[in-house]
Chains A and B, each alone.
Chain A
Amino acid sequence: MSEKRAQCLTGKGVTKVFGLGDKKTVAVDHVDFDFREGEIISIVGESGSGKTTLSKMLLGLISVSEGEVMFQGKPRDISTNQKKKEYWKGIQAIFQDPFSSYNTFNKIDSVLLDCINMRGGKSLPYDQKFEMMREACSFVNLEFKELTNKYPFELSGGQMQRLMIARIFLLKPKILLADEPTSMIDACSRATILDMLLKLRDEINMTIIFITHDIGLAYYISDSVYIMEHGKFVEHGKAEDVILHPKATYTQRLINDVPKIYEEWDLSTV
């Protein structure tokens, strides 16, 4: 199915090197990828494998050390501030750590109002804006009335993550990079939220790049899966193929490490 879709983000030999000399870390090591429009792509890998680094490169927030990222089939050009701004119009992110994602000096309202303004709703009457914010919050099981006039640090980690997702409902971007967006959210709300994201994908053909540790979750939501180990993609393909018939030993280990209820947890493999 992915073959029919248009190219969204593609990469050839994309590499990120941090530091120089002895302190050099190759966080992402010559990865190739082909993300198609309207797909949900999961990037799965253990801690430190370079997932966040790759997503920051895709967002254009950090430079690419080597290799090339193509956007909609053409080389991506974000060399000037103006071009970056243009690029960021269609791409949004949910960052891994909700605690550092908010400006602690701004109230929660301003986070959501920014989104409405971005979508050209600046001149709407406040009633209407309020209604939009309330709706976005209710999508993620939040009560806007309880949040208004509060500061981000007055929320729990899970509430912060939900608010980040509420932003996405307001913004409806073409591409979403979600870096473990539900890591602090209870399983029940998580399912609803993920269903909402899937619906959004169907509605506006949003491309979702979903970064997670949780291979089960990846199987549940994604069309294709990329398995990352030490900065490299060791395996990729359709979710069913990769997860049900893993080829790389690393993938097999990841799958085996998922603890299953009713089953003895074999600590020797951890």
Chain B
Amino acid sequence: MKNTLRQVFHSPKFVIGFVIFAALLLTTIIYPIIVTADPLEMVGNGNFFKPGTYVSVKDSVEGTRYTLNVDVKAGSLDSKISAEDKESMKEWLTKFGGVAEADINLEDTEGLIALWEANYSEDADQPGLTASRKKYFVRLNKNIDGVLLDSDVIIAQKDPETGELVESATIGSKEFVNTKDVANKKTFILGTDNFGRDVLTELVDATKTSLRVGLIAGIIATLIGLFLGLISGYMGGVVDDLIMFITNMFTVIPSFVLLILISYSVGQNARGVNLVGIIIGLTSWTWTTRSVRSQVISLRNRDHVNLSKLSGHSMMRIVLTDILPYLASYVVMAFILQISSGILSEAQLSMLGLGPSTSNAATLGLMMNWATAYAAPLNGSWWAYFPVVVTIALIAFSLNLMNTGLDQVFNPQLRD
């Protein structure tokens, strides 16, 4: 036993899979201790705020200001106009603006913008440009508009008596606040989702829930599969026929269809996380049954089983001590795969809107479902779905890696 364990941890595949999986698992345990916020709290008032730190504008305006001698214009120009934009501007100006290529210096952003403002016109004749390209230039033009202006921003307050606006401060372009002085700020490492929930916190919570669904489904499927497979394979005869009949019936109807039907009939409100796990487990035991059965059939005629029979052992004892141990490694592998497929099934179900009821839990599948429903992939909100996809992939990948690692360790011994 100890030897096998050592061998298992010498298999690089298993170790890599195990490390990834353990890291995911530890994150779901440790993260909530550090970030105690409710993962389902709707922080953002609006959908899909992009990743970054959000600081309070009021705090920034009212806080201490520092003047720094930095070229702010270059900074804001760079953030507004990318190198690609500059190339496009150059292309437009030479093609349709009548500017000689030699006059354009891409290093000199200000000069380029000045040229642009002097020559660009939305209504200019632009032969050969697609509509979307034209729109791009209009947008670019709007972006650039006013970027060179350097007037101060004036802060005014309403006079409580006269109701007139009284200038209270001006903010020059070289004034800064220290983010440490800003009392209210919030960092969304992975932005927010369509409900304004913090995606990272939600993701960690969802991973935990999905792992639970997978574990419940895996345990149930493996137990049922193991039990039926052992009985069917060892007893044979009528019992075997009956169990195989039921198993075949479940196999003929694709388990996913069955899953959909059961989930649908249970109804949206009754579907808790555990129930979904149970439903998935109840529909996915068939292949464990089949493979355990065929293994048992090949084991039951072995001489060590015959010897056990001749030694007067009961059927129960033979199954438990002479057959089950030979299957143990196989069952562990099947269990790992069942967890992985349980998590994927939950994701698929939730994508169809048949997952756990949405109000009380986040699962990886539900996060995907909402991201798609709110067209996150179309409006470029990658943070709402991409991390979820990566997490699902990592879980499945690590579990499968562990499985193949185990396979390599166990199989030569199984052949004995």
Contacts and interface: CB of A to CB of B under 8 A. Distances in A.
Interface of A: 56, 59, 61-62, 81, 84-85, 88-89, 91-93, 95-97, 99-106, 114-115, 118, 153
Interface string B301-325: 1111011111111010000011001
Contacts of B307: 93, 95, 101-103
B312 A88 contact: yes
A34 B326 CA distance: 39
Contact of B325 (A56, A93, A96, A105): A105
B325 A61 contact: no
Kindly list the 7 A-B residue pairs having the minimum CB-CB distance in the complex, ordered from nearest.
A95-B303, A105-B325, A101-B303, A103-B304, A100-B303, A114-B311, A61-B306
A153 B310 contact: no
A10 to B, nearest CB: 21
A59 B310 contact: yes
Contact of B308 (A59, A89, A91, A103): A103
Given A103-B325, A104-B304, 16 more contacts: A59-B306, A81-B315, A85-B312, A92-B310, A95-B303, A100-B302, A100-B303, A100-B304, A101-B304, A102-B307, A103-B308, A103-B322, A105-B321, A114-B313, A118-B312, A153-B416
Nearest to A97: B303
Interface residues of B, number: 18
A115 B322 CA distance: 16
Contacts of A100: 302-304
A38 B312 CA distance: 23
A92 B307 CA distance: 9
A93 B310 contact: yes
Contact of B306 (A93, A99, A115, A118): A93
B309 A61 contact: yes
Chain A CB count within 10 A is highest, among B306, B307, B315, B321, for: B307
Interface string B322-342: 100110000000000000000
B311 A115 contact: yes
A56 B306 CA distance: 9
A106 B315 CA distance: 17
Nearest to B416: A104
B325 to A, nearest CB: 4
B321 A106 contact: yes
Contacts of B326: 105
A13 B306 CA distance: 25
Given A101-B304, A105-B321, A105-B325, A89 B311 contact: no
A102 B305 CA distance: 8
B411 to A, nearest CB: 15
A14 to B, nearest CB: 19
A263 to B, nearest CB: 37
A46 B146 CA distance: 102
Nearest to A153: B416
Interface in B271-308: 301-304, 306-308
Contacts of B303: 95-97, 100-101
A171 B80 CA distance: 92
Contact of B304 (A92, A93, A96, A102): A102
11 contacts: A85-B312, A92-B310, A93-B306, A95-B306, A100-B302, A100-B303, A101-B303, A101-B307, A102-B307, A103-B308, A115-B311
Chain A CB count within 10 A is highest, among B310, B312, B321, B326, for: B310
Chain A CB count within 10 A is highest, among B312, B315, B321, for: B312
Nearest to A84: B309
A88 B325 contact: no
Nearest to B323: A103
A153 to B, nearest CB: 7
A153 B302 CA distance: 16
A103 B321 contact: yes
Contacts of B304: 100-104
A92 B311 CA distance: 8
B312 to A, nearest CB: 6
Contacts of B311: 114-115, 118
A100 B301 CA distance: 11
B5 to A, nearest CB: 15
Contacts of A89: 312
A92 B301 CA distance: 16
Nearest to A62: B301
Contacts of B322: 103
